[in-house]
Chain A
Amino acid sequence: MSILVNKDSKVVIQGVTGSEGQFHGQQMLNYGTNIVAGVTPGKGGQKTLNESVPVFNSVEEAVSLTGANTSIIFVPPPFAADAIIEASFAGINVVVCITEGVPIHDMVKVKKIVDQRETRLIGPNCPGIITVDECKLGIMPSFICKKGNIGVISKSGTLTYEAIDQLVNVGLGQTTAIGIGGDPIIGTTMKDCLELFENDPETNGIVIIGEIGGQMEIEAARWAKTNMTKPVVGFIAGQTAPPGRRMGHAGAIVSGGDDTAEAKMRILDECGINVAESVADIGELMKKKMITKG
């Protein structure tokens, strides 16, 4: 088991003929991801990725002719919202949107639509999701991952890699690692992922990596306090970030109240999550928790 994606996921790549779609499409194929289709409007009928993947004009066509049930989106920001909605309307269950820079007003509407239609959206502005040795749906360096029993949830791409690397160094592999994205509005929240990992029999412990801005970490922690039986280790980036400045991610901005790193760390701790004060301690802390748990 794992969460959201596995070896049976049938993947369609939206924006497959663009440079990102081509590069990462090939990487995903190499990892063993079951890519059944690509979509680029106007290029239907071609074959791509070394002639191994058929290209369609629409997601609807791709779904009806290949049975695709999972999509990954590499289209430019002005068209990303439309691509997500297209996937949802075509009946795709899990949509991963890698695109960075999707306008917030677009995402507010998209979020409402995917929630109503019960489409699972991951991202946008995220590194994607990987179920180790089964399905890579994203842009992460998969060679750092190792199969195991830890779930990883992170707002940030490279911090996800850092955490995975540390876990592997202390001998802990992963079930699924998921980058949920650093934008103010994202499809799948930290709490959603915790819930999925709690219900996954193969996952025994979870690492959550948050940052300044928003309330997502706090919502996840409060949920965990009453619902989680598995150990959770947390880290919050941005302890030194000045208020009012957007730190790279559109969502990473301290606007007063509970969204500082300090406040989040305190609340996570109060909710029984073990908080790593230093980013370098994430792996060790998880290891300690796993040993204590037996």
Chain B
Amino acid sequence: MKVHEYQGKKIFSDYGMPVQNGYVFEKLENAELIIKRVQKDFKTKDVVVKAQIHAGGRGKGGGVKYSPDFDSALENAKNIFNMNLVTHQTGQKGQQVKKVFVTEAYDIAKEFYAAITLDRSKGMDVFMVSTEGGVEIEKVAEETPEKITKIWIDPMLGMKTFQARKLAFALGLSGDAFKSALKILMQMYKCYQSTDATIVEVNPLILTDDEKIIVLDSKMNFDDNALFRHKDIAEMRDLDEEDPMEVEAGKFHLNYIKLDGNVGCMVNGAGLAMATMDIIKLAGGEPANFLDVGGTASAETVKNGFRIILSDENVKAILINIFGGIVRCDRVANGVVQAVKELGLDVPVVVRLEGTNAEEARKILSESGVSIIPAVGMKDAAKKVVKVALS
């Protein structure tokens, strides 16, 4: 799960990290009030107006504006609120800005980068910092990897002070700034650990003209599987940032991801679902979605799956590919028949069922009278569904 910059900063402050502070407005009529409150509470004339969407690259896309006074802040707020913000992470369709964060402004002497995430191959968390902050870190990693310093953290020991010192020294800091950075880095790790985060990123972490270290931006992702022990974080979920169909699917425990093609597919198991998408493409079609009905697919799940696939108008044909293990094919077949009868399908459906109770399932389908194209094996299924999608 992702959260907004302002939510991440709230979590950071709870862990004692000094952040660039501010307030959020979600209705344009509150913009004036919020700007004035920021100016008053943080004793500043100039502010920064920041679009809150989950994607990165907001500044480059025009979603972050320095504003020297109230009038310019209000002007920027009006422009940013509700804008369709396109960044390298949103794709071309962009993301509508529904929340705007107005913050205090700092005079920046230096910009750094700091992040913690899991290094899967080492099975350890990696903490990395760079003197090249405020830019795309992927670019730094590619062009000047020597400017990124990493330490790996033993899961049983946690981050040790000497490791944090190594990172702070790598940023070229000394004196009070060094001490402050050391504390921030230690707290950042504590925050990462305690919240079950999968990524904690600060870009940039800044050194101000008066030698203070401040967190200027936040990016936090959390492990969905651990949200059961973080109710406060789970409540920060912003459904406006997610595809409505994916949210709907989630309610029925269906794992659905919308894609751009026209062949809908419904599969049990994530791996088989990906392989089904791949073979549709190999057969000359384009998958319209990823849909894993999971290990307990029932008639009801299948029906909901159909409904969600069909709410995508691009879908010209559907492929159902089930390899029954715990999932019983006869139940899936009943679901298909029921769904076709109730929803009145107007796109062709190709069905491939294998595994537990596949024989019974084929019988159910053939005797049902609903028009379904049976297939044997994945190659046959893909070929048939692509053919009907194109015709």
Contact = CB atoms under 8 A, between A and B. Distances in A.
Contacts of A272: none
Contacts of B155: 108-109, 111-112
B92 interface: no
Interface stretch (A45-53, A200-208, A273-281): A273-281
Interface stretch (A8-16, A89-97, A238-246): A238-246
B325 interface: yes
Interface string A229-266: 00000010111111011011111100010000100000
A105 B354 contact: no
B225 A280 contact: no
B118 A184 contact: yes
B259 A214 contact: no
B173 interface: no
B55 to A, nearest CB: 10
B308 to A, nearest CB: 15
A184 B120 contact: yes
Contacts of A165: 323, 354-355
Interface stretch (A28-36, A155-163, A285-293): A155-163
Interface stretch (B161-169, B211-219, B267-275): B267-275
A112 B122 CA distance: 10
A184 B126 CA distance: 14
Interface stretch (B18-26, B71-79, B279-287): B279-287
B381 to A, nearest CB: 9
Interface in B189-235: 193, 196, 198, 223-226, 228-229
A143 to B, nearest CB: 8
A240 B225 CA distance: 25
Contact of A278 (B125, B193, B279, B287): B279
Contacts of B82: none
B282 A248 contact: no
Contacts, number: 166
Nearest to A127: B325
B255 interface: yes
A75 interface: no
B123 interface: yes
B276 to A, nearest CB: 8
A171 interface: no
A86 interface: no
Interface string B314-327: 00000000011110
Contact of A156 (B123, B259, B272, B377): B272
Nearest to B123: A111
A214 B325 contact: no
Contacts of A141: 324-326, 355-356
Given A165-B354, A279-B279, A214 B274 contact: no
A215 interface: yes
A250 B295 CA distance: 16
A237 B275 contact: yes
A162 B278 contact: no
Interface string A166-200: 00000000000000001011000000000000000
Classify the secondary structure of B's interface with A.
mixed
B277 interface: yes
Interface in A103-126: 103-106, 108-109, 111-113
Nearest to B325: A141
Interface residues of A, number: 60
B208 to A, nearest CB: 32
A256 B141 CA distance: 12
B270 A182 contact: yes
Contacts of B382: 280
Contacts of A185: 118, 120, 123
A182 B378 CA distance: 22
A164 B324 CA distance: 13
B124 interface: yes
A85 interface: no
A280 B325 contact: no
B379 interface: yes
Given A139-B325, A182-B270, A241 B279 contact: no
A241 B123 CA distance: 24
A156 B277 contact: no
Contact of B125 (A108, A247, A248): A108
A65 interface: no
Contacts of B156: 109, 112-113
Nearest to A209: B271
A102 interface: yes
A219 interface: yes
Interface of B: 89, 118, 120-121, 123-125, 138, 154-156, 193, 196, 198, 223-226, 228-229, 255, 257, 259, 267-282, 287, 290, 292, 295, 323-326, 354-356, 377-379, 382
Closest 8 CB pairs of A and B: A156-B271, A248-B270, A158-B269, A103-B226, A159-B271, A158-B272, A280-B379, A237-B274
18 contacts: A103-B229, A106-B226, A111-B123, A111-B155, A139-B295, A141-B356, A156-B271, A158-B271, A161-B323, A162-B272, A185-B123, A209-B271, A238-B274, A240-B259, A256-B138, A278-B282, A278-B378, A279-B279
Given A161-B325, A235-B275, A237-B275, 11 more contacts: A77-B228, A103-B196, A139-B326, A143-B356, A159-B272, A162-B323, A238-B278, A242-B257, A244-B89, A250-B225, A279-B276
